[in-house]
Amino acid sequence: MTEFFKKLSQDFTQLLENEYGYDTIVEVGEQQNTHLFKVHSAILYQRSPYFHQKLTNTNKKNNAIEIKLPHVSAETFTIIIKYIYGGIVSLENFEASFIFKLLMEALFVYDLLYKRH
């Protein structure tokens, strides 16, 4: 059974990487440091309370849902989105300062989700 879940995780990660059938564009970063991620609303909706709420209150524009996260860097969001899709995150190769930055950005998103109702 664990082999099945490992393959499932790989399949979802591959879906993220090849962007097939995406219906949502997440823009992260500010000004010249923005990056677009082409993702799938059904996966975000089901796997993340933040995106569940965000997608419930967002309309499609030009056949895609657009979400902007200006306070999250592309590097941090790459880790977050890979975790959402594949369920695995490895921080072994990152410096402590980056891990701290990742935690701070996660706290910012948590604050958006749970404290501003």
Question: Can you give the pLDDT at residue 67?
Answer: 93
- Residue 117 pLDDT greater than 50, yes or no: no
Structural tokens at position 79: 């880790």
Q: What is the rounded distance in angstroms from the CA atom of residue 80 to the CA atom of residue 77?
A: 5
Structural tokens at position 37: 């991620």
Q: Mean pLDDT, to the nearest integer, of 70-75?
A: 86
Q: What is the rounded distance in angstroms from the CA atom of residue 98 to the CA atom of residue 95?
A: 5
- Residue 81 pLDDT greater than 60, yes or no: yes
Amino acid identity of residue 86, one-letter, is G
Return the ∠ at Cα 42 (arms to 46 and 49), rounded to 5°: 30
> 14-70: per-residue pLDDT in tens?
999 998 999 999 999 988 889 999 999 999 999 988 899 889 888 787 789 999 988
The count of structural domains within the chain is 1
Kindly report the pTM of this predicted structure: 0.80
Is 112 or 102 the better-scoring residue by pLDDT?
Answer: 102
Question: Can you give the pLDDT at residue 66?
Answer: 93
Q: What is the CATH number of the domain that holds 103?
A: 3.30.710.10
* Residue 5 counted as domain residue: yes
Largest CA distance in the chain: 46
- Residue 115 pLDDT greater than 80, yes or no: no
Q: Which domain holds residue 32?
A: 1-112
- Residue 112 pLDDT greater than 80, yes or no: no
* Residue 31 counted as domain residue: yes
* Residue 74 counted as domain residue: yes
Question: Can you give the pLDDT at residue 1?
Answer: 66
Q: What is the rounded distance in angstroms from the CA atom of residue 108 to the CA atom of residue 92?
A: 23
Collapsed DSSP state (helix, strand, coil) of residue 63:
coil
Is 4 or 105 the better-scoring residue by pLDDT?
Answer: 4
* Residue 117 counted as domain residue: no
